[in-house]
Homo-oligomer: A and B are copies of this chain.
Amino acid sequence: MQIKSPDCTVCQFRSMMFDSLSRDELGRLNTCKSQHLFGKGELIVREGSAIQAIIYLHKGLIKLHKTTSDGRSQIISIARPFDFVGLLSVFSNDLYRYSITAIEDSSVCFINKDCIHHEILNNGKFALDIIRRMSQATDDVLQAKFSLSMKHLRGRIAHILLDFAENIYNTLAFDLPVSRKEISELIDMRPENVIRILSEFRKDGIIRINGPEIVILKPELLRQISDAG
């Protein structure tokens, strides 16, 4: 659902991406953006479709994911507001390499690709900014994946729980935004094992599980398990 979007010049996200644009440039961007609401589970971008816009997230939580030839799904990353997302192939390809789906009700801003190109061509500072953010974002994804591949299943679960607590929710008690199956797609294991290991952590008194809520009781121990691999 499209909604009325704030003027770029007063948007709270301006400083995140568009700090290096002048008032005039922001005004131009304003004319080629639109904002949309997506319900939990709703597809925002379909892998393989033509790239028309870069996106960023005003509110909610989204996942980048892709489906492999044999029908299995992989989650590349989870992004929250202020994260730089959607550029992960916007400039290298005519087609989106990944799908994007809302995992919580989300408000998404679409900025036409050609407009961004235009500003890059005409504002070197902005270009350098984009390069920095892009570079950082892909570095982070790679970093996360490499670190995961070194860990055993328990270490991966420990890591992802701490990640949610520390980087997404900033609290040791939070509602899991994704199913066990989605966790399994994010950290490359089987859903049964996600469930099993969460149960083990519960039995060991490391976490508490109340329906969708996870409470981390022993973060130090979880950290230890994560670091051990």
Contacts and interface: CB of A to CB of B under 8 A. Distances in A.
Interface of A: 66, 68-70, 72, 74, 76, 87-93, 97, 117, 120-125, 127-128, 130-136, 138-139, 141-143, 145-147, 149-150, 188, 227, 229
Nearest to A128: B120
B146 A66 contact: yes
A90 B134 CA distance: 11
B142 A91 contact: no
B91 A128 contact: yes
Contacts of A74: 146, 149-150
B120 A131 contact: yes
A179 B74 CA distance: 31
A51 to B, nearest CB: 11
Contact of A121 (B88, B125, B227): B125
Contacts of A133: 92
A47 to B, nearest CB: 12
Given A91-B128, A124-B124, A124-B127, A142 B139 contact: no
A127 B131 CA distance: 8
Nearest to A66: B146
Contacts of A92: 132-136, 139
A226 B67 CA distance: 18
A48 to B, nearest CB: 14
A36 to B, nearest CB: 24
Which interface residue of A117, A142, A145 has the most chain B CB atoms within 10 A? A142
Contacts of A72: 150
26 contacts: A68-B147, A70-B229, A72-B150, A74-B149, A76-B146, A87-B135, A89-B139, A91-B132, A91-B135, A92-B134, A97-B143, A117-B128, A120-B127, A120-B128, A120-B131, A121-B125, A124-B127, A127-B127, A131-B134, A135-B138, A138-B138, A141-B142, A142-B145, A145-B146, A149-B149, A149-B188
